[in-house]
Amino acid sequence: MSVRVHNLSFAYKNFILRVPELRFERAVVTAIVGPNGAGKSTLLETLAGRLRPDAGQVVLEARALPDWPARARGRALAWLPQSGEADGELAARDVVALGRLPHHGLLGGPTAADRAAIEAAMRDADCDALAERRLASLSGGERQRVLIARAWATGAPVLLLDEPTVHLDAPHQRRLVHALRERARAGATVVSVLHDLTLALAADRVVVLVDGRTCADGPPQDTALHAALRDASGDAIRVQRIDDPEGVRWVAYPAG
């Protein structure tokens, strides 16, 4: 499914997000980056339907987002907020099972397909060993893996992830980046807000927001994108190409 933003405007106190046109396509991993307060989370929450824009619209597969029935939207969009929303007394497996609610509803019971999706999501997020533990007893990284598994369990074709690598150690960050690529290759539309610019440059596409405006949009090898990242950081970073056995990659490092 594609997601399109058209003439979007959202005002909050002294901040205004304005995005004339932005489109997110299937089979592409897009990273949204920018300084603190640039509007990254606001944009993602608007894409997820969590915030209603003051003007303009978000279109999901040629249909305005508010026109989608709640359960259909829940099956189409998987949303991982920056601050995880879940009851700390729930067992990890029960938290992941919440991702299947749009499929069977509050009154329906989980099916064999639901249970299979839950187990697969927990394996993919490397939290299957935590299945019986209460969310409140988990470390920050363990909790984040459970919440990622909840997003995977929806089976949604659109994944909207706000800082998904928070609290994750390096091996699990690498595993997450690989999982996002795999889901995109399978046809998913993946949009993720990231602060780590090197992780963002592993995406297929990087969108840079500054002061509520899009100031750059391109693939990681784009020199204009590198210049925009440097400007957005206040000349605090540089971008460099690295050639290694796994192929070309781009890294951001502090300017000397």
Per-position DSSP letters for the chain, written without gaps between them: --EEEEEEEEEETTEEEEEEEEEE-TTEEEEEE-STTSSHHHHHHHHTTSS--SEEEEEETTEEGGGS-HHHHHHHEEEE-SS----TTSBHHHHHHGGGHHHHTTTSPP-HHHHHHHHHHHHHTT-GGGTTSBGGGS-HHHHHHHHHHHHHHT--SEEEEESTTTT--HHHHHHHHHHHHHHHHTT-EEEEE-S-HHHHTTSSEEEEEETTEEEEEE-TT-HHHHHHHHHHTTS-EEEEEEEETTEEEEEEEE--
pLDDT of residue 107: 74
pLDDT in tens, 107-156: 777 899 999 999 999 999 999 999 999 999 999 999 999 999 999 999 99
pLDDT of residue 51: 94
Encoded tokens for 171? 């091996």
pLDDT of residue 110: 86
pLDDT of residue 203: 97
Check residues 70 and 246 and name the one with the higher pLDDT: 70
d(CA 121, CA 249): 28
pLDDT in tens, 26-79: 999 999 999 999 999 999 999 999 999 999 999 999 899 999 999 999 999 999
pLDDT of residue 240: 95
pLDDT of residue 190: 98
pLDDT in tens, 83-99: 766 777 899 999 999 99
Domains and CATH numbers, the chain: 3-84+151-254 (3.40.50.300)
Question: Which of 133-142, 146-155, 204-213, 240-249 bottoms out in mean pLDDT, i.e. has the lowest?
Answer: 240-249
pTM to 2 decimal places: 0.94
- In the predicted model, is pLDDT for residue 219 greater than 90? yes
pLDDT in tens, 11-24: 988 899 999 999 99
Give the mean pLDDT of 150-164. 97
